Amino acid sequence: MKARPDLSAWLPLPEGVVPSDASVLPGGFRAGGVAAGGKPSGDPDLGILVCDAQEMTSAARFTPSATAAAPVIITRDRCTNERLRAVVVNSGNANASTGRLGLEEAARMQGAASMLLGFPLEQIALCSTGKIGEILDGGTYVKAMPRVRDDFSTDATSFNTAICTTDLFLKKAAVDVTLPGGTVRFVAQAKGAGMIHPGFATMLVFIQTDAKLSAGQCDRLLMNSLVDTFNRVSVDGQMSTNDTALLQASGTSGVAPQDKDEDALLQAGLDHVLLDLALQLISDGEGATRLARVKVTGGDALGHAAEKVADHIATSPLVQTALTGADPNWGRIIQAAGHALAGRGQVEFDVSFGGVQVCRANQAARYDLAAAEAAAAEQLVEIEVTFKGDGDAVRYFCDLTVDYVRFNSEYTT
Protein backbone atom coordinates (compact mmCIF):
# COMPACT_ATOMS: atom_id res chain seq x y z
CA MET A 1 0.00 0.00 0.00
CA LYS A 2 1.75 3.10 -1.20
CA ALA A 3 -1.00 5.42 -0.09
CA ARG A 4 -3.01 5.51 3.09
CA PRO A 5 -5.96 3.15 2.50
CA ASP A 6 -9.50 4.08 3.49
CA LEU A 7 -9.58 3.10 7.15
CA SER A 8 -12.86 4.83 8.00
CA ALA A 9 -14.71 1.54 8.60
CA TRP A 10 -12.50 0.94 11.62
CA LEU A 11 -12.49 4.58 12.75
CA PRO A 12 -16.00 5.59 13.75
CA LEU A 13 -16.02 9.18 15.00
CA PRO A 14 -17.22 9.54 18.59
CA GLU A 15 -19.80 12.25 19.23
CA GLY A 16 -18.14 15.60 19.84
CA VAL A 17 -15.07 14.62 17.83
CA VAL A 18 -14.53 15.84 14.27
CA PRO A 19 -11.58 15.36 11.91
CA SER A 20 -9.23 18.26 11.60
CA ASP A 21 -6.29 19.31 9.43
CA ALA A 22 -3.30 17.23 10.49
CA SER A 23 -0.84 19.59 8.83
CA VAL A 24 -1.64 22.46 11.14
CA LEU A 25 -0.16 22.31 14.64
CA PRO A 26 -2.32 23.38 17.58
CA GLY A 27 -1.67 26.74 19.24
CA GLY A 28 1.63 26.93 21.08
CA PHE A 29 3.59 24.58 18.80
CA ARG A 30 6.09 25.04 15.99
CA ALA A 31 8.14 22.51 14.11
CA GLY A 32 10.59 22.10 11.27
CA GLY A 33 12.71 19.56 9.46
CA VAL A 34 15.69 19.55 7.11
CA ALA A 35 18.15 17.23 5.40
CA ALA A 36 21.10 17.21 7.79
CA GLY A 37 23.17 14.94 5.57
CA GLY A 38 23.02 11.80 7.69
CA LYS A 39 21.15 9.79 5.05
CA PRO A 40 23.05 8.70 1.93
CA SER A 41 19.90 9.50 -0.05
CA GLY A 42 20.05 13.15 1.05
CA ASP A 43 16.45 12.93 2.27
CA PRO A 44 15.27 15.00 5.25
CA ASP A 45 16.54 13.40 8.44
CA LEU A 46 16.34 15.92 11.28
CA GLY A 47 13.16 17.30 12.79
CA ILE A 48 12.52 19.43 15.87
CA LEU A 49 9.18 20.20 17.44
CA VAL A 50 8.83 22.76 20.23
CA CYS A 51 6.12 23.99 22.52
CA ASP A 52 6.41 27.73 23.15
CA ALA A 53 3.90 27.83 25.99
CA GLN A 54 5.49 28.43 29.39
CA GLU A 55 2.88 26.41 31.27
CA MET A 56 3.01 23.36 29.03
CA THR A 57 2.84 19.78 30.31
CA SER A 58 3.77 16.47 28.74
CA ALA A 59 3.91 12.70 29.14
CA ALA A 60 6.04 10.05 27.47
CA ARG A 61 6.26 6.29 27.13
CA PHE A 62 9.20 4.19 25.92
CA THR A 63 9.99 0.71 24.69
CA PRO A 64 10.53 -1.76 27.56
CA SER A 65 13.26 -3.47 25.47
CA ALA A 66 16.29 -4.65 27.44
CA THR A 67 18.43 -3.23 24.63
CA ALA A 68 16.83 0.20 24.44
CA ALA A 69 18.58 2.78 22.25
CA ALA A 70 20.68 5.68 23.55
CA PRO A 71 18.06 8.42 22.95
CA VAL A 72 15.50 6.34 24.86
CA ILE A 73 17.88 5.90 27.78
CA ILE A 74 18.76 9.60 27.87
CA THR A 75 15.15 10.80 27.59
CA ARG A 76 13.69 8.20 29.95
CA ASP A 77 16.35 8.50 32.64
CA ARG A 78 17.55 12.09 32.42
CA CYS A 79 14.57 14.20 31.34
CA THR A 80 11.59 15.68 33.14
CA ASN A 81 8.94 13.75 31.27
CA GLU A 82 6.06 15.86 32.54
CA ARG A 83 7.65 18.93 30.98
CA LEU A 84 9.30 18.16 27.66
CA ARG A 85 9.37 21.44 25.74
CA ALA A 86 11.06 20.08 22.65
CA VAL A 87 11.75 16.86 20.85
CA VAL A 88 14.69 16.38 18.50
CA VAL A 89 14.30 13.49 16.05
CA ASN A 90 16.81 12.12 13.59
CA SER A 91 16.03 9.41 11.05
CA GLY A 92 18.41 7.07 9.22
CA ASN A 93 20.39 6.03 12.29
CA ALA A 94 18.66 4.54 15.35
CA ASN A 95 21.59 5.21 17.69
CA ALA A 96 20.79 1.76 19.10
CA SER A 97 23.44 -0.76 20.12
CA THR A 98 25.99 2.02 20.18
CA GLY A 99 27.06 1.88 23.84
CA ARG A 100 28.77 4.69 25.68
CA LEU A 101 29.67 6.49 22.47
CA GLY A 102 26.02 6.47 21.44
CA LEU A 103 24.96 7.94 24.77
CA GLU A 104 27.55 10.68 24.37
CA GLU A 105 26.40 11.51 20.85
CA ALA A 106 22.80 11.69 22.06
CA ALA A 107 23.86 13.90 24.96
CA ARG A 108 25.68 16.21 22.54
CA MET A 109 22.57 16.63 20.46
CA GLN A 110 20.60 17.38 23.61
CA GLY A 111 23.16 19.97 24.69
CA ALA A 112 23.18 21.71 21.32
CA ALA A 113 19.37 21.78 21.15
CA SER A 114 19.18 23.21 24.66
CA MET A 115 21.56 25.99 23.68
CA LEU A 116 19.74 26.72 20.42
CA LEU A 117 16.22 26.66 21.81
CA GLY A 118 16.86 28.13 25.25
CA PHE A 119 15.23 25.27 27.16
CA PRO A 120 16.93 23.37 30.01
CA LEU A 121 18.60 20.09 29.03
CA GLU A 122 16.05 17.99 30.88
CA GLN A 123 13.23 19.44 28.78
CA ILE A 124 14.68 18.23 25.48
CA ALA A 125 13.49 14.78 24.40
CA LEU A 126 15.50 12.79 21.86
CA CYS A 127 14.35 10.18 19.36
CA SER A 128 16.26 8.31 16.71
CA THR A 129 15.10 5.82 14.09
CA GLY A 130 16.92 3.92 11.37
CA LYS A 131 19.83 1.52 11.28
CA ILE A 132 20.85 -0.28 14.46
CA GLY A 133 24.48 -0.66 15.48
CA GLU A 134 26.10 2.18 13.58
CA ILE A 135 27.77 4.95 15.54
CA LEU A 136 25.76 8.12 15.08
CA ASP A 137 27.68 11.28 14.25
CA GLY A 138 26.00 13.87 16.45
CA GLY A 139 27.95 16.66 14.77
CA THR A 140 26.06 16.16 11.51
CA TYR A 141 22.79 16.89 13.26
CA VAL A 142 24.11 19.61 15.56
CA LYS A 143 25.37 21.57 12.56
CA ALA A 144 21.95 21.35 10.91
CA MET A 145 19.91 22.39 13.97
CA PRO A 146 19.95 26.13 13.22
CA ARG A 147 18.52 25.39 9.78
CA VAL A 148 15.70 23.45 11.41
CA ARG A 149 14.95 26.42 13.65
CA ASP A 150 14.86 28.64 10.56
CA ASP A 151 12.31 26.22 9.11
CA PHE A 152 10.03 26.43 12.18
CA SER A 153 6.38 27.08 11.39
CA THR A 154 2.96 25.92 12.48
CA ASP A 155 2.89 23.51 9.52
CA ALA A 156 3.82 19.99 10.67
CA THR A 157 4.79 18.69 7.23
CA SER A 158 8.54 19.19 7.19
CA PHE A 159 8.87 17.72 10.71
CA ASN A 160 6.64 14.82 9.71
CA THR A 161 8.74 14.20 6.62
CA ALA A 162 12.06 14.32 8.47
CA ILE A 163 11.10 11.54 10.90
CA CYS A 164 10.47 8.94 8.15
CA THR A 165 12.71 6.01 7.24
CA THR A 166 11.19 3.25 5.09
CA ASP A 167 7.72 4.82 5.40
CA LEU A 168 5.88 5.01 2.09
CA PHE A 169 3.54 7.78 3.21
CA LEU A 170 3.34 10.36 6.00
CA LYS A 171 1.46 9.16 9.04
CA LYS A 172 -0.61 11.96 10.51
CA ALA A 173 -3.98 12.46 12.11
CA ALA A 174 -5.88 15.25 13.84
CA VAL A 175 -9.23 15.87 15.48
CA ASP A 176 -11.04 18.73 17.12
CA VAL A 177 -12.86 17.89 20.34
CA THR A 178 -15.64 20.17 21.48
CA LEU A 179 -15.96 20.47 25.23
CA PRO A 180 -18.54 22.74 26.93
CA GLY A 181 -15.76 25.28 27.57
CA GLY A 182 -14.54 25.36 23.98
CA THR A 183 -12.81 23.33 21.29
CA VAL A 184 -9.36 21.74 21.62
CA ARG A 185 -7.28 20.06 18.96
CA PHE A 186 -5.11 16.96 18.89
CA VAL A 187 -2.57 16.73 16.08
CA ALA A 188 -0.18 13.82 15.75
CA GLN A 189 2.66 12.51 13.62
CA ALA A 190 4.11 9.00 13.58
CA LYS A 191 6.65 6.91 11.75
CA GLY A 192 7.15 3.17 11.42
CA ALA A 193 6.79 0.37 8.94
CA GLY A 194 8.54 -2.68 10.44
CA MET A 195 9.57 -3.98 13.87
CA ILE A 196 6.07 -3.25 15.09
CA HIS A 197 4.48 -5.24 17.86
CA PRO A 198 2.29 -4.59 20.85
CA GLY A 199 4.65 -3.19 23.44
CA PHE A 200 4.39 -0.37 25.84
CA ALA A 201 4.52 2.41 23.30
CA THR A 202 5.35 1.30 19.81
CA MET A 203 7.39 3.23 17.25
CA LEU A 204 7.69 7.01 17.21
CA VAL A 205 4.54 9.00 17.74
CA PHE A 206 4.23 12.66 18.67
CA ILE A 207 0.95 14.23 19.74
CA GLN A 208 0.30 17.92 20.36
CA THR A 209 -2.77 19.48 21.91
CA ASP A 210 -3.76 22.99 22.95
CA ALA A 211 -5.90 21.61 25.79
CA LYS A 212 -4.99 22.75 29.29
CA LEU A 213 -3.91 19.62 31.09
CA SER A 214 -2.04 18.74 34.24
CA ALA A 215 0.96 16.47 33.79
CA GLY A 216 -1.06 13.72 35.49
CA GLN A 217 -3.91 14.17 33.01
CA CYS A 218 -1.43 14.03 30.14
CA ASP A 219 0.00 10.81 31.47
CA ARG A 220 -3.36 9.13 31.98
CA LEU A 221 -4.62 10.18 28.56
CA LEU A 222 -1.49 8.89 26.82
CA MET A 223 -1.31 5.62 28.72
CA ASN A 224 -5.00 4.82 28.24
CA SER A 225 -4.83 5.52 24.52
CA LEU A 226 -1.68 3.53 23.89
CA VAL A 227 -3.15 0.45 25.53
CA ASP A 228 -6.09 0.47 23.14
CA THR A 229 -4.33 1.56 19.97
CA PHE A 230 -0.58 1.12 19.44
CA ASN A 231 -0.55 -1.85 21.79
CA ARG A 232 -3.12 -3.59 19.56
CA VAL A 233 -1.24 -3.63 16.25
CA SER A 234 1.43 -5.92 14.84
CA VAL A 235 3.36 -6.04 11.59
CA ASP A 236 5.96 -8.66 12.44
CA GLY A 237 5.79 -9.27 16.17
CA GLN A 238 9.10 -7.49 16.71
CA MET A 239 9.54 -4.96 19.51
CA SER A 240 11.77 -2.04 18.60
CA THR A 241 14.70 -0.68 20.57
CA ASN A 242 13.53 2.92 19.98
CA ASP A 243 9.78 3.09 20.53
CA THR A 244 8.72 6.43 21.97
CA ALA A 245 5.36 8.15 22.38
CA LEU A 246 5.19 11.79 23.43
CA LEU A 247 2.12 13.86 24.25
CA GLN A 248 2.58 17.60 24.76
CA ALA A 249 -0.16 19.99 25.92
CA SER A 250 0.35 23.72 25.40
CA GLY A 251 -2.80 24.85 27.19
CA THR A 252 -3.13 27.79 24.77
CA SER A 253 -6.83 27.08 24.15
CA GLY A 254 -7.47 27.81 27.82
CA VAL A 255 -9.88 24.86 27.76
CA ALA A 256 -9.45 22.29 30.53
CA PRO A 257 -11.68 19.27 31.10
CA GLN A 258 -13.94 19.93 34.10
CA ASP A 259 -15.26 16.50 35.01
CA LYS A 260 -15.15 12.81 34.16
CA ASP A 261 -17.40 13.22 31.15
CA GLU A 262 -15.11 15.82 29.68
CA ASP A 263 -12.08 13.65 30.47
CA ALA A 264 -13.81 10.82 28.61
CA LEU A 265 -14.49 13.02 25.60
CA LEU A 266 -10.85 14.09 25.43
CA GLN A 267 -9.82 10.47 25.78
CA ALA A 268 -12.12 9.50 22.91
CA GLY A 269 -10.54 12.20 20.74
CA LEU A 270 -7.01 11.06 21.52
CA ASP A 271 -7.97 7.40 21.08
CA HIS A 272 -9.33 8.22 17.64
CA VAL A 273 -6.13 9.98 16.58
CA LEU A 274 -3.87 7.21 17.88
CA LEU A 275 -5.93 4.36 16.43
CA ASP A 276 -5.88 6.20 13.11
CA LEU A 277 -2.07 6.45 13.29
CA ALA A 278 -1.65 2.85 14.48
CA LEU A 279 -3.70 1.64 11.52
CA GLN A 280 -1.68 3.85 9.20
CA LEU A 281 1.46 2.20 10.57
CA ILE A 282 0.32 -1.32 9.75
CA SER A 283 -1.08 -0.17 6.40
CA ASP A 284 2.51 0.78 5.69
CA GLY A 285 3.82 -2.48 7.18
CA GLU A 286 6.74 -3.58 5.02
CA GLY A 287 5.21 -5.22 1.94
CA ALA A 288 1.67 -5.10 3.35
CA THR A 289 -1.20 -5.42 0.90
CA ARG A 290 -4.16 -6.13 3.21
CA LEU A 291 -5.14 -5.49 6.84
CA ALA A 292 -7.08 -7.64 9.26
CA ARG A 293 -8.87 -6.94 12.51
CA VAL A 294 -9.38 -9.96 14.73
CA LYS A 295 -11.89 -9.66 17.54
CA VAL A 296 -11.67 -12.42 20.10
CA THR A 297 -14.27 -13.13 22.77
CA GLY A 298 -13.85 -15.82 25.40
CA GLY A 299 -12.02 -16.93 28.49
CA ASP A 300 -11.88 -15.29 31.86
CA ALA A 301 -11.65 -11.51 31.49
CA LEU A 302 -8.77 -11.51 34.01
CA GLY A 303 -6.97 -14.54 32.58
CA HIS A 304 -5.88 -12.84 29.36
CA ALA A 305 -6.84 -15.92 27.34
CA ALA A 306 -8.56 -13.78 24.70
CA GLU A 307 -5.47 -11.55 24.54
CA LYS A 308 -3.23 -14.59 24.01
CA VAL A 309 -5.44 -15.97 21.27
CA ALA A 310 -5.57 -12.59 19.52
CA ASP A 311 -1.78 -12.21 19.80
CA HIS A 312 -1.07 -15.65 18.36
CA ILE A 313 -3.43 -15.09 15.44
CA ALA A 314 -2.05 -11.61 14.66
CA THR A 315 1.57 -12.78 14.66
CA SER A 316 1.17 -16.16 12.93
CA PRO A 317 3.03 -16.22 9.61
CA LEU A 318 0.56 -18.88 8.47
CA VAL A 319 -2.42 -16.61 9.17
CA GLN A 320 -0.55 -13.65 7.69
CA THR A 321 0.26 -15.50 4.46
CA ALA A 322 -3.35 -16.74 4.18
CA LEU A 323 -4.35 -13.07 4.39
CA THR A 324 -1.97 -12.36 1.51
CA GLY A 325 -3.71 -15.08 -0.49
CA ALA A 326 -7.21 -13.73 0.38
CA ASP A 327 -7.94 -17.17 1.81
CA PRO A 328 -10.58 -17.48 4.60
CA ASN A 329 -8.37 -20.16 6.10
CA TRP A 330 -10.03 -20.85 9.43
CA GLY A 331 -7.87 -23.97 9.95
CA ARG A 332 -4.84 -21.75 10.52
CA ILE A 333 -6.88 -19.57 12.88
CA ILE A 334 -7.81 -22.68 14.88
CA GLN A 335 -4.17 -23.83 14.86
CA ALA A 336 -2.96 -20.47 16.20
CA ALA A 337 -5.73 -20.34 18.80
CA GLY A 338 -4.92 -23.88 19.93
CA HIS A 339 -1.25 -22.92 20.21
CA ALA A 340 -2.14 -19.83 22.26
CA LEU A 341 -4.00 -21.92 24.84
CA ALA A 342 -1.74 -24.98 24.70
CA GLY A 343 -1.85 -27.08 27.83
CA ARG A 344 -5.37 -26.03 28.83
CA GLY A 345 -7.14 -29.07 27.44
CA GLN A 346 -9.41 -28.96 24.41
CA VAL A 347 -11.06 -25.60 23.67
CA GLU A 348 -13.77 -25.07 21.04
CA PHE A 349 -13.61 -21.98 18.87
CA ASP A 350 -16.04 -20.40 16.40
CA VAL A 351 -14.59 -18.37 13.53
CA SER A 352 -16.17 -15.85 11.17
CA PHE A 353 -14.78 -13.92 8.24
CA GLY A 354 -16.66 -10.68 7.58
CA GLY A 355 -19.68 -11.98 9.47
CA VAL A 356 -19.75 -15.31 7.58
CA GLN A 357 -19.37 -18.08 10.14
CA VAL A 358 -16.93 -20.57 8.63
CA CYS A 359 -16.18 -22.65 11.73
CA ARG A 360 -18.35 -23.75 14.62
CA ALA A 361 -16.76 -25.54 17.59
CA ASN A 362 -13.50 -26.18 15.69
CA GLN A 363 -15.36 -27.68 12.72
CA ALA A 364 -16.29 -26.43 9.31
CA ALA A 365 -19.67 -24.71 9.45
CA ARG A 366 -22.01 -24.86 6.49
CA TYR A 367 -21.30 -21.57 4.81
CA ASP A 368 -21.36 -19.65 1.58
CA LEU A 369 -17.82 -20.11 0.30
CA ALA A 370 -18.09 -17.25 -2.18
CA ALA A 371 -19.19 -14.89 0.60
CA ALA A 372 -16.34 -15.99 2.89
CA GLU A 373 -13.82 -15.59 0.07
CA ALA A 374 -15.17 -12.15 -0.74
CA ALA A 375 -14.78 -11.18 2.94
CA ALA A 376 -11.17 -12.45 2.95
CA ALA A 377 -10.40 -10.47 -0.19
CA GLU A 378 -11.44 -7.11 1.26
CA GLN A 379 -8.82 -4.44 1.88
CA LEU A 380 -9.88 -4.53 5.56
CA VAL A 381 -10.64 -8.11 6.61
CA GLU A 382 -12.81 -8.77 9.67
CA ILE A 383 -12.13 -11.94 11.65
CA GLU A 384 -14.14 -12.92 14.71
CA VAL A 385 -13.12 -15.71 17.04
CA THR A 386 -15.23 -16.76 20.00
CA PHE A 387 -14.89 -19.36 22.70
CA LYS A 388 -16.46 -19.94 26.10
CA GLY A 389 -16.25 -16.99 28.45
CA ASP A 390 -16.64 -13.24 28.27
CA GLY A 391 -13.09 -11.87 28.06
CA ASP A 392 -12.34 -9.95 24.91
CA ALA A 393 -9.43 -8.65 22.87
CA VAL A 394 -8.80 -7.06 19.51
CA ARG A 395 -5.74 -6.91 17.28
CA TYR A 396 -5.01 -5.27 13.96
CA PHE A 397 -2.34 -6.72 11.68
CA CYS A 398 -1.11 -6.77 8.12
CA ASP A 399 -0.32 -9.64 5.80
CA LEU A 400 3.11 -11.20 5.23
CA THR A 401 4.19 -10.90 1.63
CA VAL A 402 7.03 -11.77 -0.66
CA ASP A 403 7.98 -8.09 -0.51
CA TYR A 404 8.44 -8.18 3.29
CA VAL A 405 10.93 -11.00 2.87
CA ARG A 406 12.65 -9.39 -0.12
CA PHE A 407 12.94 -6.10 1.67
CA ASN A 408 14.29 -7.56 4.90
CA SER A 409 16.70 -9.96 3.29
CA GLU A 410 18.20 -7.24 1.11
CA TYR A 411 18.18 -4.27 3.52
CA THR A 412 20.35 -4.00 6.63
CA THR A 413 18.48 -2.41 9.53
Closer CB to its own copies, 267 or 324, in the complex? 324
What is the signed CA dihedral for 27, 56, 61, 100, rounded to 10 degrees?
Answer: 110
Question: Among the candidate windows 20-28, 126-134, 162-170, 215-223, which touches its own copies by CB under 8 A?
Answer: 126-134
CB 89 within 8 A of CB 46: yes
* Other Cβ atoms within 10 Å of 132 Cβ, number: 19
Look at residues 329, 323, 322 and name the one whose alpha carbon lies nearest to residue 291: 323
Q: How far apart are CA 169 and CA 285, in angstroms?
A: 11
Q: Using the rule CB under 8 A, which residue among 206, 330, 353, 396 binds its own copies?
A: 330
Q: How far is CA 268 from the centre of its chain?
A: 16
Closer CB to its own copies, 155 or 348, in the complex? 348
Burial 372-410, CB ≥16 within 10 A → b, else e: beebbbeebbbbbbbbeeebebbbbbbbbbeebeebeee
**Phi (first) and psi of residue 222, to 5 degrees:** -65, -50
Asked if 144 is part of the footprint of its own copies (rule: CB under 8 A), the reply reads: no
- Residue 296 is which amino acid? V
Residues 6+ apart with CB under 8 A from 53: 28, 250, 251, 252
Asked if 409 is part of the footprint of its own copies (rule: CB under 8 A), the reply reads: yes
Question: Among the candidate windows 142-150, 213-221, 248-256, 313-321, which touches its own copies by CB under 8 A?
Answer: 313-321
Asked if 303 is part of the footprint of its own copies (rule: CB under 8 A), the reply reads: no
Asked if 166 is part of the footprint of its own copies (rule: CB under 8 A), the reply reads: no
- Least CB distance from residue 57 to its own copies, whole Å? 26
| Positions 203 through 242 that interact with its own copies (CB under 8 A) | 236-241
DSSP 8-class letter at 26 = P
Closer CB to its own copies, 64 or 254, in the complex? 64
Asked if 388 is part of the footprint of its own copies (rule: CB under 8 A), the reply reads: no
Asked if 68 is part of the footprint of its own copies (rule: CB under 8 A), the reply reads: yes
- Least CB distance from residue 349 to its own copies, whole Å? 7
How many residues sit in the footprint of its own copies (CB under 8 A)?
74
Binding-site string for its own copies from residue 79 to residue 108, where x marks contact by CB under 8 A and - marks none: -----------------xxxxxxx------
Closer CB to its own copies, 174 or 322, in the complex? 322
Asked if 65 is part of the footprint of its own copies (rule: CB under 8 A), the reply reads: yes
DSSP string, 168-209: SS-EEEEEEEEETTEEEEEEEEEE-SSS--SSSS-SEEEEEE
- Residue 84 is which amino acid? L
What is the signed CA dihedral for 79, 80, 86, 88, rounded to 10 degrees?
Answer: 20
Residues 6+ apart with CB under 8 A from 256: 181, 211, 212, 213
Q: Is 202 a catalytic residue?
A: yes
* Other Cβ atoms within 10 Å of 344 Cβ, number: 12
Binding-site string for its own copies from residue 364 to residue 383, where x marks contact by CB under 8 A and - marks none: x-------------------
- Residue 74 is which amino acid? I
Closer CB to its own copies, 115 or 388, in the complex? 388
| From 202, 252, 297, 324, the catalytic residue | 202
Binding-site string for its own copies from residue 6 to residue 45, where x marks contact by CB under 8 A and - marks none: ----------------------------------------
Beta pairing partners, 364: 359
Asked if 202 is part of the footprint of its own copies (rule: CB under 8 A), the reply reads: no
Asked if 318 is part of the footprint of its own copies (rule: CB under 8 A), the reply reads: yes
Q: Using the rule CB under 8 A, which residue among 341, 356, 375, 380 binds its own copies?
A: 341
| Positions 237 through 266 that interact with its own copies (CB under 8 A) | 237-241
Q: Using the rule CB under 8 A, which residue among 64, 120, 180, 254 binds its own copies?
A: 64
Asked if 73 is part of the footprint of its own copies (rule: CB under 8 A), the reply reads: yes
Active site residues: 202
